Amino acid sequence: MRSSTTGWLLLAPTLVILALFGVVPFIYVLVISFSQWNSFAADPVLHFNGLDNFRALVFDTDFLKSIRSTLLFGLFAVVSEIILGYFLAQLFTRDFPGKGFFRTIHTLPLVIAPIAVGAIWRLLLTPGLGPIPTYLRIWFGIDLNISRFSDQAFAAVVLMDIWHWTPLVTLTLLAALSSLPKDPFEQAQIDGANRFQVFWYVTLPMLKPAILATVFIRLMDALRTFDEIFMLTSGGPGDATRFVGLYIYRVVFPKKDYGYGAAMSVIVLYLTIVMCWLLYSALVARRDLRRPE
Amino acid sequence: MRKQSAVVSIALWTLLSLVTLAPIYWLFVVSAKSRVDLFGSPSFLLKSFFPDNYVNTLTDPSFQKYMLNSIIIATSNAVLVTLLGFLATYALSRFKLVGKENVFFWTITNRMAPPAVFLLPLFLIYTQVVAIGDWRLYDTRIGLILLYCVFNLPFAVWTLRSIIDAIPIELDEAATIDGASTFQLLTRVIFPLARPGLAVTMILTWIFAWNEYLLAATLTSVQARTITTLLAEYVSVTGTNWGQLAATAMLTIVPALVILGVVQRHIVAGLTFGAVKG
């Protein structure tokens, strides 16, 4: 048996880098969050002020609004992606010529830089330049301007996320679908179940762990989305698409109010961890239930 | 009957592919049109290729600098992450270490955290805390190369885990009996067998580092800026140069799209931390 010292030595560089660039900033932001530190103030040094920042944050309606819109965005985007992705995955389970080719095309958006995705959609949606507002006006008489109408901007951001990330859901669920055992489906057919019954009583229960895992990964990513939205709407119009990441970047950063910004970061991180943990335990619970079979 | 359903499938997928490709194609159309042709009635048809946007971009000194930075940062980060991830994963896979499963799980939490949360502490650390004389981590390539490890290393460890676990431990034992040191074992036995997995890891981490925007935008100002930050710079209140923005965006996404062909089969496993085999 080789000594565990060698093992730790092999692990050391990874742990040191993650500690220095992951844990240290975390502790640092925690410390600042309990202090008053504003580099624009008359006294720009760090003072310990207990929970003052957090107390102020609870009444910061702009911040609360940004949390609400972030969650709404995550909800709309992920639910649509799961439903759409499931149907596409079902379509892909059938064999047909050229499947590999279509699969590759479907994967393309996944590797495009998010900031470039934002640029692409801005080119599509800018009135006068992009084809979408022009054709909507000519064909349906709809006035589309995402820099003026809040609802349209929000919808556009969700739509962009759907275009960008549905392929991931499709491919994840496709992998899960093709690994399902065939017997239950044949049995259900013999028993005369219709398509909806097969879906509801056979496919869905067996697919649940995969769906939950996909929701987990997608939701975590959706809640931290920044680049695309920064490029497409920059958080506007007003605060319609100013999700927490953008709020920290656009409002907290320019103010140089470090203590307040740190407290905000800590709350966002806390909420993320709680959500992550809730979803994760849901995931593990399902797995445990499945095990006795 | 079967033939009919194949036709329906192909028809549906053609339609979907158009939805996927149209936005990317539009980016190309904008990049290949002159400023005058852009406005008015938008047309998906391209009568002639207008090369000026590409010429202007490619001859722009800041584009060249940013591109070089991106290449250096993404490549160094991918190599570093794959190497360190390889060593770490081997340790996690083969050694009896106290609490190693906790360590394994902890690595991934570094990737889950929203980057915006760490902007403030990182900005302060980069501009003020780490100070060696006049030297700061801020606006340096090494600063970004090391920082990108925070999201890429956990990814590498999680994807490589199943690959190294799959290499039979009997090979290690045989090599050890023959008197191989840990270094020889790693380089002569494990590395050749893990090479395909390492290549995929390196390519995917390269794409992630290449695509990163927020940290690069916050932690650099002049010297170490990357190509993604240039895209945001083109959009301005005084008027955006759409053609050049599109040309730069094309040049930014093309490397990743080309590489996709090589790792297409692995991208799903990659993006779900190996939870799903594509």
**Distance (Å) from the alpha carbon of B129 to chain A's nearest alpha carbon:** 11
User: Beta strand B135-136 with B131-132: parallel, antiparallel or unpaired?
Assistant: antiparallel
Residue A225 and residue A104 in one domain: yes
A83: containing domain: 34-290
Could you report the predicted ipTM of this complex, rounded to two decimals?
0.88
Other C-beta atoms closer than 10 Å to the C-beta of B133 total 5
For chain A, what is the domain count?
A: 2
pLDDT, position B270: 66
> pLDDT (tens digit, 9 = 90+) per residue, B9-40?
888 889 999 999 999 999 999 998 888 777 76
For tokens 């006035």, name the residue: A143
The band of B3, judged by pLDDT with boundaries at 50, 70 and 90, is low
> Can you tell me whether residue B200 is helix, strand or coil?
helix
Between CA B89 and CA A219 the distance in angstroms is 27
> pLDDT (tens digit, 9 = 90+) per residue, B75-129?
999 999 999 999 999 999 988 888 888 888 888 878 877 888 888 889 989 988 8
Q: Does B18 touch chain A (CB under 8 A)?
A: no
The beta-carbon neighbor of B278 closest among A22, A175, A246 is: A175
User: Beta strand A35-36 with A47-48: parallel, antiparallel or unpaired?
Assistant: antiparallel
> Can you tell me whether residue A243 is helix, strand or coil?
coil
How many CA atoms lie within 13 Å of A103's alpha carbon, on the beta-carbon side? 24
Residue A3 and residue A112 in one domain: no
| CB-CB under 8 Å, A230 with B252 | no
Q: Residue A235: name the closest of A224, A223, A221, A246 by CA.
A: A246
Residue A6 and residue A123 in one domain: no
Please list every residue in chain A whose beta carbon sits closer than 8 Å to the beta carbon of residue B115. 224, 226, 245
Between CA B29 and CA B44 the distance in angstroms is 7
Least confident of A91-105, B159-173, B240-254, B258-272: B258-272
Between CA A48 and CA B205 the distance in angstroms is 40
**Distance (Å) from the alpha carbon of B63 to chain A's nearest alpha carbon:** 15
CB contacts < 8 A (A, B): 285
The class of domain B52-271 in CATH terms is mainly alpha
Residue A10 and residue A153 in one domain: no
Residues forming CATH 1.10.3720.10 domain(s) in chain B:
52-271
Q: Is the dihedral of CA B158, B204, A100, A77 positive or negative?
A: positive
Between CA A203 and CA A90 the distance in angstroms is 11
Helix%, strand%, coil% for chain B, nearest 5: 75, 0, 25
On whether the CB atoms of residues B270 and B202 are closer than 8 A, the answer is: no
On whether the CB atoms of residues B244 and B234 are closer than 8 A, the answer is: yes
Between CA B112 and CA B252 the distance in angstroms is 25
> Chain B window 229-258: which residues touch A at a Cβ cutoff of 8 Å?
231-232, 235, 242, 245-246, 249, 252-253, 256-257
Inter-helix orientation angle A61-93/A204-223, to 10°: 140
Residue A27 and residue A100 in one domain: no
| CB-CB under 8 Å, A108 with B24 | yes
User: Which CATH number does the domain housing residue A130 bear?
Assistant: 1.10.3720.10
pLDDT, position B278: 45
> Can you tell me whether residue A36 is helix, strand or coil?
strand
Q: Classify B99 in phi/psi space as left (phi over 0), alpha (psi -120 to 50) or beta.
A: left
B126-133: average pLDDT: 85
H or E element in which residue B40 lies: none
| CB-CB under 8 Å, A258 with B213 | no
Residues pairing with A48 in the sheet:
A35
Q: Does B196 touch chain A (CB under 8 A)?
A: no
Q: Does B184 touch chain A (CB under 8 A)?
A: no
| CB-CB under 8 Å, A131 with B26 | yes
pLDDT, position B249: 94
Query: Which tokens hold the place of A207?
Result: 């697919």
**pTM, rounded to two decimals:** 0.88
Residue A70 and residue A10 in one domain: no
pLDDT, position A293: 36
On whether the CB atoms of residues B201 and B159 are closer than 8 A, the answer is: yes
Please list every residue in chain A whose beta carbon sits closer than 8 Å to the beta carbon of residue B14. 102
pLDDT, position A204: 86
Contacts of A8 (CB under 8 A, 6+ apart): B91, B97
> pLDDT (tens digit, 9 = 90+) per residue, B177-227?
988 888 899 999 999 998 888 988 898 899 999 999 999 999 998 889 999
Q: Does B114 touch chain A (CB under 8 A)?
A: yes
Q: Does A112 touch chain B (CB under 8 A)?
A: yes
Listed as ranges, residues in chain A with pLDDT below 70 are 1-2, 39-45, 285-293
pLDDT, position B237: 62
The band of B238, judged by pLDDT with boundaries at 50, 70 and 90, is low
Q: Residue A63: name the closest of B116, B247, B74 by CA.
A: B116
pLDDT, position B215: 93
The beta-carbon neighbor of B88 closest among A6, A11, A28 is: A11
Q: Name the DSSP letter for residue B225.
A: -
- Name the E strands within chain A: 35-36, 47-48
Residue A26 and residue A111 in one domain: no
| CB-CB under 8 Å, A214 with B119 | no
How is B48-70 classified by DSSP, letter by letter? S--THHHHHHHH-HHHHHHHHHH
